[in-house]
Amino acid sequence: MRRFACLCTICLFFLNLSAQSLFQDAGKETASDEFQQQVLQLNGYTRGIIFGGGEKYELATTFAEIALQPQLRSHGAFLQADIRLRKGVFFDEDVQLIDLKELYTGYSSLKFDLLLGNQVVSWGRTDGFNPTDNITPKDYFYFTPDPDDQQLSNFLLRAKYRFTPAVEIDVIGVPFYQPSIYKYELFDMGANVSFVEQQLPERQLKNSAVAARLNVDLPAAGWSVSYFRGYDPYHGFEVAAVDWSTGSPVITNQPASYLKTSWGADLAVPLGVVILRAEGAYNITENPEAKMYIPMSDFSYVGALEANVSGLTVIAQYVGKYVPDFTPLVLPVLSEPLNPLAQMQYANAMIDYENRQFNRRIFHQQEKMNHAVALSLTKSVGYDAWELMCTGYYDITSEEWLVQPKVTYKISDTLTASLGGNYMQGPNKTLFSYASTIMNGAFVGIIASF
């Protein structure tokens, strides 16, 4: 009730501001300079979503949500927010929360922006797979019809300077690390394997992240170069403890984060009816041999072609990763089967081997060269009232694959219904084989916007 009262108070506050703005602006002429205007916009939505039909959960998530998205601008200063009240059942757990998706303030002019607060930052020009997008963590187990809902905000300081309308530099500082959410604890990896809560890096200045991007948008092409140094939101796990008291190993794993430096670039070039997109990053890590949760340094890259053919939008992508210093894992061998000490050493070596192997699957570093392809098809029909979409992905290296169909029906200007699903499979002990028992299923959602 307190959370609901808090959200209602916020709504009334912004509605009151809106009413005051309307009365104050009545009869006044519009100023020529938009940065001298006082403008309040109040948008939002309510929605309900059900996702279920999987092997482990008949109904994985069922929830209702209301969002308030105010934007206030006055003489260059502004406030931007995306505040969501959510109540439902997530993986058999009752959840009621206020999610500050975004909440930040700052100053904006034709030349310069300064922003401070909880923000979602998306870098990169390819669709879905973005090697340069190192700032925004994601909740991979938050199921909705909109993939952008998985993006989590970071508290950060952001400054933009526009040299020209087409050229800008973007500099970001992230004082506190926030990891992506994987929910490894939901995976069925055996009765003797469990996961504990992640221990985050200490909140010290040396553990903060910095990033910068020079971006150019021209009619003939758009491109950027970027830099990131900090803890990667995309993380692995380590073996926190092995208990032998029962005679068999009981393994406790713990998510763990690692430092990296990343240099990236992206490109988008229109070529007639086709748009060529490319994006890549060189990710540098230290001492991956010592810690299983640290990936090897690699080159991650994506190439894509986007075209519209008779109203059908086609996006075809190649996703690759090259690991220059790749060293294959060596399968342990039990040299003395009758020696208890050798048996113990062999068991510990196998635990290390299996967990290192799984971390490499998480980081897509199974081989020196790793390959995957993706295809997305989108078509609007019925005078744009219906949108049909299907996305497919196949990892050539690991033989994992997924299909995501979705149908959206625009009932009215403010009411939309969606129906879709997610189906993935992979060989035994791959990431998709574990996740499929949770993430396979269908969803239905209805959203009313205002």
Question: CA–CA distance from 21 to each of 15, 104, 149 (Å)?
Answer: 10, 21, 31
Instruction: Give strand ranges (E) for 382-429.
Output: 386-395, 400-410, 415-425
For 96-134, write each residue's pLDDT tens digit.
999 999 999 999 999 999 999 999 999 999 999 999 999
Mean pLDDT over residues 271-289, rounded? 96
**Any residues with CB less than 8 A from the CB of 297 and at least 6 apart, and which?**
282, 283, 284, 285, 288, 323, 324, 325
Q: How far is CA 126 from CA 149, 301, 319, in A?
A: 18, 10, 10
Q: Contact, 378 vs 406, CB < 8 A? A: no
User: For all residues of the chain together, what is the average pLDDT?
Assistant: 91
Question: pTM for the whole thing?
Answer: 0.88
Give yes or no for residue 443 having a pLDDT over 50.
yes
Whether 209 and 266 have beta carbons less than 8 Å apart is answered as: no
Contacts of 85 (CB under 8 A, 6+ apart): 3, 4, 7, 65, 66, 67, 97, 98, 99
pLDDT, position 33: 53
- In tens, the pLDDT along 390-421 reads 999 999 999 999 999 999 999 999 999 999 99
Averaged pLDDT, 345-358: 94
**1: which residues sit within 8 A by CB, 6+ positions away?**
none
Separation in Å, CA 219 to CA 97, 165, 223, 263: 44, 12, 11, 25
pLDDT at 7: 46
Q: How far apart are CA 367 and CA 360, in angstroms?
A: 9
The answer to whether 412 and 419 are in contact (CB under 8 A) is: no
Is the pLDDT assigned to residue 383 strictly greater than 60? yes
What confidence tens digit (pLDDT) does each residue in 192-219 have? 999 999 989 999 999 999 999 999 999 9
Query: How much is the pLDDT for 2?
Result: 53
How does pLDDT run across 290-322, given as a tens digit for each residue?
999 999 999 999 999 999 999 999 999 999 999
For residues 60 and 8, the model is more confident at: 60
Nearest-CA neighbor of 319 among 280, 269, 263?
Answer: 280
Six token digits for residue 428? 């035994």
Number of helical H runs and strand E runs in the chain: 3, 21
